[in-house]
Structure 1
Amino acid sequence: MAQADLVVLSPGVPHTQPMLEPAWAAGIPVIGEMELASVFVKAPIIAVTGTNGKTTTTELLGQMLKNSGKRVFVGGNIGTPLIAYADGAHGVADVIVAETSSFQLDTTVSFRPATSVLLNITDDHLDRYAGFSAYAESKWRIFKNQEPEDAAVLNAMDATVVKMMETHALRSRRRLFSHVPVVQGARIQKDRIAVVENRRTTVVFDLAKCHLVGPHNRENIAAACLAALEHGATLAGIQQTIDTFRGLPHRVETVGFVRGIRFVNDSKATNVDAVKRALECFDGPVVLILGGQNKKGDFNRLKTIVRQRVKTLVALGEARDEIVTALAGDPQQGVIEAGSMEEAVAKALSAAVAGDVVLLSPACASFDMFDNYAHRGECFRSIVERLA
């Protein structure tokens, strides 16, 4: 490695690996795939990051631009990597929409999005970072190289994002989204998104036909609207997308009904905050299937919402002892343990009655029992379909 001219890391390889020390010592640049690709990309890049909601927002945004007649490449941390576009395999785009992970941002040097979107920052990947502040700083790197003509779309309701706005300088133009009035950005209301310029509403998008449920998805839609408008999306194209976008698999996805009980697959919820957001989508009793491989998440942070909304909790996987210790007294009818997904679904079904929701929202990685979160979600779906 000490003889190389350049080292390019996959996002899955921590940039702190001891094996990289010879390269650091020799002054050899160590960058990531996204940094390398961005050098060769001429189209403006919209980069979307955040602990939760990245993929949904990226896909929404891409569709808003496509429905506006734009040639769009959607990729990055989802689907096709940015380097594949840079290689010329996907034609020429008017705009790039790239989901961007903290791991990818760790290895950026000159990466400069025309628009950077930061959805939220909550506990995640603490098995890889020295602590939460290190993880937050990694997310903030998305703004590092922006200039005054660029745009920063930020969540003014997220406590960590707000704190970092107060302590970190931004050269780019701020476009905030919030439930309360903003100077420049978007105000989120139950049935609409109001785009605001100098405190005055200029455009309103209707959410009456929207298929995405929950407060968190209204935040995702607001962020996507603001970024799309920055890059020439039409009002009709944005509204069409809001009306027709059906959501993505494994994200608060209804997979079936058994005896009047709704089964919802939220396998992509691999951290505590994602579970809180999922539970906020339901008004009635929930039987929650929680667990897997913990990423140093704190299950105690679920106490209040579990006490308020969860009827029975089914603890699954490596983390089930931690879950029982943290939450045993909080669900209305206690915690049940399960050794497999099939057992978890069976016990959840026994605990539920017609009108209840059985929600798979694990707050954990899946690698203790499954290949990935999608494999876990498909297993859940398959079991429910056999029961229906």
Structure 2
Amino acid sequence: MIVSPAWKGKRFAVLGLARSGRATVEALLAAGAEVLAWDAKPEAREPFAGRVALADPLEADLTGYDGVVVSPGVPLNTHPIKPHAMSFGVPVIGDIELFAQARAHLPPHKVVGITGTNGKSTTTALVHHILKTAGVPTTMGGNIGLPILEQKPLPKGGVFVLELSSYQIDLTFSLDCDVAVLLNVTPDHLDRYDGDFEAYAASKARLFEMQTREGCAVCRAQDWWHDQKIGAKAGGKYLEVFDDVFHQWQGLPDAIGILEQSRWKALQGPHNLQNAEAAIAVGFVLELSAQQIRDGLETYPGLPHRMERVAEIFGVAYVNDSKGTNTAASAPALAAFENIHWIVGGLAKEPGPQGLLGECEAELGHVKAAYTIGKAGPVFAELLEGRVPVKRSETLDQAVIDAANEAVSGDTVLLSPACASFDQFRDFEERGEAFRAAVKRLAA
């Protein structure tokens, strides 16, 4: 558990007692803080009965509190907790901000923060794997893995690798990353920013603005970087525009030798090349050798639900890309394969039917047939009919059966829905598990 003596004797309210909320309460209590906690679900509150004050912060007098800690899932643009806390002059923060406050009391270490609309989970896990393979003490957290405050402090020389969503950055004010990475910025989650893409992009950029002059910032969204003049705002001393990074390192020959994507079994497709380039850049900043980076790339096992090869049945590959929850995420998956039987649909994120295909439209040449599911299925079917053969499968189970009936050896059945899952599933993980189960039934 990560704790800080800076919290001792201070007062915090914690709203939301899911994984990160539970870890936050435990860390604050261990540090000697006074905690007010609340969750709408009685079963979530039960473990803390008699240990903290249980009351809704929205109904509490927050005078004298040092912070209200909320889950990243709380929509700050619509939830009343922010104006209520502000009326008492109390900041609304997240567990990443508490981690930032605790850093001064941890053994000397470094932090790599990774954000972007797409690819941040893969890049975070890849950087963590490269470091671990190289023998560097490391852990990953933030928007991936265990809550950061629940994890053990790293020994001297360790590296914390954090995946950071814009929601988490919105709740963070003092995280000075040794290396901050922005992979890309495309429209997503705009409901949280009142439809304002620039506000969403500015949220991502705050990761750089929190850096001091000792940090390194890496960004591959070049046009956006220059248009927004983020380089002038960022605190990092060694700003590298990402596409040029390999031209600025003295180890350029080694860097070029590393880029052997055919050897990276879990990192196929042009999007994964970009993710790998980001990880390579981080490795060089952290002074890993080319061989250490190469070893990590070649042994990286991949993430569940992201370009995950589930099975091969009669020569047909079945690939689970349930994490493709918007068109910008699904387009690279379509680009990575040929002869695709594409399972698409769910709860659409893109506005209006004309924007539904988004970046996937440019990759339709890779699609042999499409199988539409979920709430957005009929609209996808209308957009695709006449361009590729379409089957209105409606459910994921039926889509797997329909695709299996049409696919031949050498084809790929790809679940990359370009949509959120919430119309038919709890989350993208449950959708991916359902795909795995359906494929397993084919092989039975």
TM bracket, shorter-chain basis: 0.7 to 0.9
1:227 aligns with 2:282: yes
Aligned to 1:66: 132
Aligned to 2:342: 288
Aligned to 1:191: none
* Amino acid aligned to 1:149: E
More RCO (CA 8 Å, sep 6+)? 1
- The whole-number CA distance in structure 2 between the counterparts of 1:161 and 1:299 is 26
Residue 249 (structure 1) shift: 1.5
Instruction: Choose from 186, 189, 201 the match for 1:125.
Output: 189
Q: 1:229-282: CA deviations, max 9, x gaps?
A: 222323332111012112112111111223322211101111111111101101
1:113 aligns with 2:177: yes
TM-score, normalising length: structure 2: 0.77
Aligned to 1:246: 301
Distance of aligned partners of 1:142 and 1:167 in 2 relative to their CA distance in 1, 3 Å threshold: closer
1:23 aligns with 2:85: yes
- The whole-number CA distance in structure 1 between the counterparts of 2:386 and 2:239 is 43
Instruction: Choose from 91, 96, 103 the match for 1:41.
Output: 103
Write out aligned runs for 1:317-328 (5 A): 317-328=374-385
* Amino acid aligned to 1:290: V
- The whole-number CA distance in structure 2 between the counterparts of 1:353 and 1:162 is 47
Q: 1:148-192: CA deviations, max 9, x gaps?
A: 221011115x643453356863331222333xxx2xx12xxxxxx
- The whole-number CA distance in structure 1 between the counterparts of 2:122 and 2:73 is 21
- The whole-number CA distance in structure 1 between the counterparts of 2:159 and 2:69 is 25
Aligned to 2:166: 102
Moved over 6 A (4+): none
1:342 aligns with 2:394: no
- The whole-number CA distance in structure 1 between the counterparts of 2:175 and 2:304 is 30
Aligned to 2:75: 14
Q: 1:307-356: CA deviations, max 9, x gaps?
A: 3221211111122133234433432x2x2212221111112223323222
- The whole-number CA distance in structure 1 between the counterparts of 2:217 and 2:386 is 42
Q: Is the 8 A contact 1:84 1:90 kept in 2?
A: no
Q: 1:68-90: CA deviations, max 9, x gaps?
A: 222112111101122224xxx34
TM-score, normalising length: structure 1: 0.88
Aligned to 1:361: 416
| Greater alpha carbon shift after TM alignment, 89-98 vs 315-324 | 89-98
- The whole-number CA distance in structure 1 between the counterparts of 2:428 and 2:192 is 18
* Amino acid aligned to 2:61: Q
Q: Is the 8 A contact 2:334 2:360 kept in 1?
A: no
Root-mean-square deviation (CA), in Å? 2.3
- The whole-number CA distance in structure 1 between the counterparts of 2:154 and 2:301 is 27
Distance of aligned partners of 1:119 and 1:302 in 2 relative to their CA distance in 1, 3 Å threshold: closer
Larger proportion of helix: 2
Select the structure of larger CA radius of gyration.
2
Residue 112 (structure 1) shift: 1.5
Q: Is the 8 A contact 2:327 2:360 kept in 1?
A: no
Secondary structure at 1:263 match in 2:
strand
Q: Is the 8 A contact 1:303 1:330 kept in 2?
A: no
Residue 67 (structure 1) shift: 2.5
Q: Is the 8 A contact 1:264 1:360 kept in 2?
A: yes
Distance of aligned partners of 1:326 and 1:130 in 2 relative to their CA distance in 1, 3 Å threshold: farther
Secondary structure at 2:312 match in 1:
strand
- The whole-number CA distance in structure 1 between the counterparts of 2:86 and 2:324 is 36
- The whole-number CA distance in structure 2 between the counterparts of 1:197 and 1:358 is 40
* Amino acid aligned to 1:3: D
- The whole-number CA distance in structure 2 between the counterparts of 1:352 and 1:162 is 45
- The whole-number CA distance in structure 2 between the counterparts of 1:330 and 1:76 is 41
1:196 aligns with 2:259: no
Q: Is the 8 A contact 1:266 1:361 kept in 2?
A: yes
Secondary structure at 2:219 match in 1:
strand
- The whole-number CA distance in structure 2 between the counterparts of 1:55 and 1:65 is 16
1:177 aligns with 2:242: yes
